[in-house]
Structure 1
């Protein structure tokens, strides 16, 4: 990829690693939409996807000296980090909901949002591709993100994940099989949005 000024991403990243905030800003502009889109697919909430995008780029800055560049791009590292942040956010939200559920409501003041909340909870419980994807292991999510959703080659995914190409191929096959298996047990509407 080439940035707006004709500088390639590898050069920009080298400058960013040395602390050049302008170069990091260009890297952000280059990958922001892709990271946000991936987070939105995983979470289905624009607000949460924006938070995840910000956290992913914060982690990119914090770990810039250890980030692996694959074929002149850091997008593989960013997408795997986005998956990790999404999983962390989902765990935090689950813990928060459980903590709220333990609080006893004040019966004298019914909350008018309760009816809306019940509807939202029902919709979230409806099986779908996102829900099935969330049931997969972190390894399966990462391999499907890189090879299926973001269409990286198996060689690029191998470099990003620091594993052999053969391992990527076998993990990809198993992840697709596991996803198909889970989708078969889910409702028909979950299968409509996914093709292997």
Structure 2
């Protein structure tokens, strides 16, 4: 396309009539200048590309109401670029404020996460094994009261026990479980005496 403004005005009329090739010609002709203006208004090249694309999108979207100045769409594009860049900057500031207001968590390294996961897994295995060593009714009492948070009376009714008997069994089961878990822990941390092998 030449620099002749009459040509641009004619091309604009074609673009307004829905001619995509005419609009593409206008884009190619004005894109570099719009991009330079956008780059002067925003913080980086990527944002400038976004603003440029948005300006041309608005030109196409509002093509029925765009008025040429001296036979060119450039003034309209520059005004659109300024407005879009300002909105873009305001949105970026709001986004940064929201991000900076979010609570920060301490960064946990992968090793400590892995260790915590292994310890949790081992505790679950030890607990399952310890529950396997108590009577079935006592294990059920522990699960219903501790994990499912039922009252002792409700757990007793579910197992067909009197509440007093359920309390006594639960107390003994807790003591047994605590002893088993403590023995397991000691076995894991105490060295094996000489002459003893696993």
Q: TM-score, normalised by structure 2?
A: 0.52
The residue aligned with 2:18 is 19
The residue aligned with 2:94 is 95
Query: 1:57: how far off?
Result: 0.2
- Whether the 8 Å CA contact 2:37–2:78 is kept in 1: the answer is yes
Distance in 1, Cα, partners of 2:71 & 2:31: 17
**Residues 9/109 of structure 1: CA separation in 2 closer, same or farther (3 Å cut):** farther
- Whether the 8 Å CA contact 1:42–1:86 is kept in 2: the answer is yes
Q: Secondary structure at the match of 1:64?
A: coil
- Whether the 8 Å CA contact 2:34–2:52 is kept in 1: the answer is yes
Distance in 2, Cα, partners of 1:56 & 1:77: 9
- Whether the 8 Å CA contact 2:34–2:81 is kept in 1: the answer is yes
Query: 1:108: how far off?
Result: 2.6
> Greater Rg, structure 1 or structure 2?
2
Q: Secondary structure at the match of 2:103?
A: coil
The residue aligned with 1:64 is 63
Q: How does 1:39-58 map to 2 (within 5 A)?
A: 39-58=38-57
The residue aligned with 2:2 is 2
Structure 1 stretches of 4+ moved >3 Å: none
Q: How many aligned positions are there?
A: 109
Instruction: Identify the structure with bigger relative contact order (alpha carbons < 8 Å, sequence gap 6+).
Output: 1
Query: 1:109: how far off?
Result: 4.2
Query: 1:64: how far off?
Result: 0.3
Query: 1:7: how far off?
Result: 7.6
Q: Secondary structure at the match of 1:72?
A: coil
Q: TM-score, normalised by structure 1?
A: 0.52
Structure 2, unmatched stretches of 5+, are 110-198
Structure 1, unmatched stretches of 5+, are 111-196
**Residues 29/3 of structure 1: CA separation in 2 closer, same or farther (3 Å cut):** farther
Query: 1:42: how far off?
Result: 1.0
